[in-house]
A and B are shown apart, each in its own frame.
Chain A
């Protein structure tokens, strides 16, 4: 499925950041929510693909290897309770090598800086990069 320009802009810039919440579920049905910075959105093919990385082994990656279904959510709310929200469901591939992996791994320090005591640290090479293939999009309002 294709994302429209408004959704892409919201994912990359809504709330002043490229942070989204990735929802996964374990083989035991336990939900896991993890904030992630979007590395890139590939809109060149028949299906749009959203990429985010895993700097170290984690629960999100573990779940995605067991169950490649996930969702990406983002919302922003203001003081009067107005919420703008996007929920995208899809399936994933986890990349650990190859041209696409290498290309996106180079983007990690720019797209996902780790700040410690005000200093931007070097981001280690990701253990994996997830390619999230968009299947359904809900937009509110």
Chain B
């Protein structure tokens, strides 16, 4: 498959919107798989970018940049549920991409536009306590996590 395959389609965006722009971000910390919520600041192509405050997360990503995210309905009302897997790239202060992303967040020019509406009604100190790093997640595989026998199989792989 070519890189023009769309993994983050309207179904994924719908779940991101349902979750107030917050997704479950999984990575390996000290040899253990862990998962924390993060706020999406930019969704572009097959990537999602967020602003990270915790240096321990960055240190873990420097050891292993293999990541996964999950988007689903915690109340269990939605059948649609997806997992995306890929890798993380860290951008530090002073790099053009770091500045670009922080500016998009602060000026509320994020994509998709529903993220701006959500950020406007959220307490920034809660969703992004400090703007220390920018992390871009590039995905190359998507799984459906609907409760069926097919759910363990990739539905799209680049």
A-to-B contact residues, CB < 8 Å: 14-17, 19, 21, 23-25, 29-35, 37, 55-59, 69-71, 73-83, 85, 87, 89, 114-115
Contacts and interface: CB of A to CB of B under 8 A. Distances in A.
A127 to B, nearest CB: 11
B20 A78 contact: yes
A17 B34 contact: no
Contacts of A77: 19-20, 22, 37
Dominant SS at the A interface?
strand
Contacts of A16: 74-76
B67 interface: yes
Contacts of B37: 75, 77, 83, 85
Instruction: Give the residue among A74, A79, A80 with the most B Cβ atoms within 10 A.
Output: A80
Contacts, number: 120
A114 B74 CA distance: 15
Contact of A57 (B34, B145, B152): B152
B46 interface: no
Interface in B62-91: 64, 66-70, 72, 74-76, 79, 81, 83, 85
A99 B117 CA distance: 52
A27 to B, nearest CB: 12
B55 interface: no
A35 B75 contact: no
B34 to A, nearest CB: 5
A79 B68 contact: no
Contacts of A73: 24, 34-36
A33 B152 contact: no
B155 interface: no
Closest 5 CB pairs of A and B: A81-B122, A23-B33, A58-B152, A33-B70, A81-B127
Given A31-B66, A31-B68, A80-B123, A71 B145 contact: no
B33 A31 contact: yes
Nearest to B65: A29
A71 B72 contact: no
A34 B83 contact: yes
Given A77-B19, A81-B123, A32 B36 contact: no
Contacts of B70: 21, 33-35
A25 B63 CA distance: 14
